[in-house]
Structures are given as C-alpha cells and as structure tokens.
C-alpha cells in the first residue's frame, strides 16, 4: 500500500532553509484533506518514523509537525529528539492548564514550540509566553487582523513566521511587520513524497507485552491499556468467548478474564489476537493459519522435548515464526523492541537452541520430509501416530479460532 507525506521549507531573512514543515497527504494531489487532526498527526508521525527516513526528510534541520491538544497530552512529541522538533500547536487549542504544564515540560527538555495560524485573543497569554515562534497566516487572515495580532505580540518579543506567503508583496509586508521566517508558495510548494507502507506491530501490543513482562503484573494497568482501544477490547472478548480458547462460562470483563488466565496465557491470547487482526489488514489467511497451527503444535510437543515448563514460550515461537512474512519486514527489525526472552528471540532468528528444535521438527513435517521427522521422533520416543494426532488437534484449534 502506498503512503504519502509532504515537506515545505521554512526560509529565513537571508534565504537559508532553517527547517521543514512535514504535512499530511493521502495522495499525490498537493492538498490536505483532513477530517481529524488527531489521526492526521499520528499518520505523519508514523510515516516519518516507519515508512520514510527521518534524517532524509528533515535534511538535518528542525521538523515542524502539527500537534493538537490530545496528541501532546498523550506524549507524542517524545517520539522525537528535542533538538529535531518544533511542536506546532494547532489553532483550535483549548489552552488548558494541563496543556500548558505539559508544554512547559517539553520546553524544559529543549523542544521548540510554535503557535500555528495565530490570531491574538484573551486567554492565550500563557501559551504565547511559552512559544518560541508565532506563525501568522497571510492567506486565510486579512491583513488588518494580522497587524492587530503583531501589535498585541510586541511585548512578548517572539520570533514571527509568515506562512502561506504567495507573492513578493506578501513577503515585503511580512518583513515590514517584523517577520524573520517565511513559508509559502512564493518560495516553494510542499513537495510530496511517496513511499510504501510498512506493516508494523501495533504499539498497543508492545505496551501490553511490556506490562506482562514486569516482575509483578499489574492487571489493572493491563486492562486499562486494552480498554483504551474499543476494537481491541471487542476482539479480545470475542476471542475469550470462542469455543477454541476459553471456557463455557461467558466472559464480559477483560480484566477478570486476564486474571483467570494468568500471565502466560494472557500473553498468548494477546499475540493470537494480534495475528488475527493482521488478516483484516490484508494478510493471507493461510499464513496466519500456519502460524496458529505451529504455536499449538509446539505447545503440545513441549513434554516430549522436556520443555513442559516452557510450553508457553514454545507457543510464542511457533506463533511468531512467520511474522516476518506477515509484516513484510526483516525479523531482526520486528523483534528489536519486542519484550521477549533472549532464547525465544534467538529461536525466531534461526539460531539453534532447545526451542528452535521443536519448530524445526514442525517445519520438516510441513515440508513433507517424513524420513527426517521419523528420525527425530524416534530420538524423542514419540511415534508418528501420536505426532499426527497432535497435528490434527493443532489444525482444528487454529481453524476454530479463524472461524470466530
């Protein structure tokens, strides 16, 4: 799937580029069709970090990125180093005390703050005091309103940036008002970059796995993360109530269900749900089906490999064994931030250990290498009929899950 982002330079009084604004785009048409500022900001951030090269896009200059109140309060600017980012606060900000406090913390860390499409009005004094740069809109605001805003800002001695300047007359007028940075079609239209969208492990799953890896698991925190995402809550409840996974007692509370399941089963449940959701994003059902079968079969084989105490980790190795194909990324990249035990990661990276030997056996069977399978089964005192029954049980379990 293609993805798009636009970049427009900020020019100083000497004609030098001092930064770039990174802009939301959903096609090669040079126009933003934004219905939700929150979603637009998150897409720009995701594209910058995952689908495009941040250093190349910024050209070692400061990046101006639009943030609304919600994305700031949720800590989205933390994804960038302070010296690389200008937090551009959108014009519809509430200016709440909570927001001001958060911005003060960012300013203390070294982030710069800009107020976008600014017109002076009472109640924004605290934000003006915090801001490093004030952006004045020369297209959507009439000149008288811009002049009045500049006069009101004089006591604050802020850097003024003239945006949407389209003519030499606009530039000269902006200079006369004291603007020292310029942005607009007169200098350069936003340049659109096209990239290929990379499938990623959703952040919420990494957050959940991190909580589950704590020495003492906080099930309250675990359930609160899940409940923040309504689609995740619904899909987990559906999975918990499936015949393949849970009990005959209907589950209505994610927290209670996870406590009942315990840490290891909760981890497995969350990863199974993640894989199921990849189907909705266009991944081939069969690849996910194979992953689920491998997970269950590895778990069933744990006793025969003297790994009964590690059956849950075997399940995870099987479950994630094709995640690189599902996400179309290198396995090393996918696992770099995933909180799993070292030998689980080693097994997934193809390094031989106790866990990888179980998965290797399953893969041999999938490839039809029956002679090789029988040699290993003999070493483990396991007959082919029992092994086949395990395979059938795993297949039925996986099929049941995907029917839900």
Q: Which of 74, 82, 70, 62 is nearest to 20 (CA)?
A: 62
Higher pLDDT, 204 or 404: 204
133 falls in which pLDDT band (50, 70, 90)?
Answer: very high
* Mean pLDDT, the chain, whole residue set: 83
357 falls in which pLDDT band (50, 70, 90)?
Answer: very high
Task: For tokens 């930064």, name the residue.
Answer: 19
Predicted TM-score (pTM) of this structure: 0.54
281 vs 276: CA distance, rounded Å: 10
Q: Are 130 and 152 in contact (CB under 8 A)?
A: no
Higher pLDDT, 199 or 186: 186
pLDDT tops 50 at residue 13 = yes
Mean pLDDT across the stretch 373-387? Answer: 91
Lowest mean pLDDT among 7-21, 312-326, 364-378: 312-326
Q: Which domains does the chain have, with CATH numbers?
A: 2-196 (3.20.20.450), 203-403 (1.10.3210.10)
Mean pLDDT across the stretch 168-190? Answer: 93
pLDDT tops 80 at residue 180 = yes
User: Residues 288-313: pLDDT tens digits?
Assistant: 889 889 999 999 999 999 999 998 88
280 falls in which pLDDT band (50, 70, 90)?
Answer: very low
**pLDDT > 90 in the chain, percent:** 38
pLDDT tops 90 at residue 128 = yes
The region, left, alpha or beta by phi > 0 then psi within -120 to 50, assigned to residue 348 is alpha
Higher pLDDT, 209 or 242: 209
The region, left, alpha or beta by phi > 0 then psi within -120 to 50, assigned to residue 62 is beta
């Amino acid at each position: 799937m293609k993805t798009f982002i636009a970049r427009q330079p900020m020019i100083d009084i000497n004609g030098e580029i001092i930064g770039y604004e990174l802009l939301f785009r959903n096609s090669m048409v040079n126009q933003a069709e934004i219905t939700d500022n929150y979603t637009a900001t998150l897409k720009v951030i995701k594209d910058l970090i995952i689908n495009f090269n941040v250093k190349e896009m910024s050209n070692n200059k400061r990046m101006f990125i639009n943030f609304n109140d919600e994305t700031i309060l949720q800590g989205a600017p933390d994804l960038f180093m302070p010296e690389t980012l200008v937090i551009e606060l959108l014009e519809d900000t509430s200016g709440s005390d909570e927001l001001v406090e958060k911005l003060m913390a960012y300013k203390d860390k070294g982030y710069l703050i800009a107020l976008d499409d600014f017109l002076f009005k009472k109640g924004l004094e605290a934000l003006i005091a915090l801001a490093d740069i004030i952006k004045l809109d020369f297209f959507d605001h009439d000149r008288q309103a811009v002049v009045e805003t500049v006069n009101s800002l004089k006591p604050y001695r802020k850097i003024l940036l003239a945006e949407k300047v389209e003519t030499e007359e606009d530039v000269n007028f902006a200079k006369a008002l004291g603007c020292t940075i310029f942005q607009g079609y007169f200098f350069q239209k936003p340049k659109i970059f096209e990239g290929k969208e990379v499938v990623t492990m959703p952040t919420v799953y990494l957050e959940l796995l991190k909580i589950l890896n704590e020495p003492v698991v906080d099930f309250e925190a675990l359930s609160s993360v899940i409940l923040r995402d309504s689609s995740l809550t619904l899909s987990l409840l559906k999975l918990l109530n499936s015949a393949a996974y849970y009990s005959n007692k209907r589950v209505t509370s994610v927290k209670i269900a996870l406590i009942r399941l315990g840490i290891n089963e909760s981890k497995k449940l969350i990863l199974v749900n993640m894989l199921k959701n990849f189907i909705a994003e266009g991944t081939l059902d069969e690849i996910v089906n194979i992953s689920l079968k491998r997970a269950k079969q590895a778990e069933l084989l744990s006793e025969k490999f003297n790994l009964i105490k590690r059956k849950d980790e075997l399940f995870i190795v099987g479950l994630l064994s094709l995640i690189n194909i599902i996400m179309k990324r290198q396995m090393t990249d996918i696992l770099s931030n995933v909180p799993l035990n070292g030998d689980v990661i080693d097994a997934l990276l193809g390094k031989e250990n106790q866990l990888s030997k179980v998965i290797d056996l399953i893969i041999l069977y999938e490839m039809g290498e029956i002679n090789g399978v029988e040699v290993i089964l003999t070493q483990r005192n396991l007959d082919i009929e029992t092994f086949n029954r395990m395979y059938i049980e795993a297949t039925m379990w996986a099929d049941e899950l995907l029917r839900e």
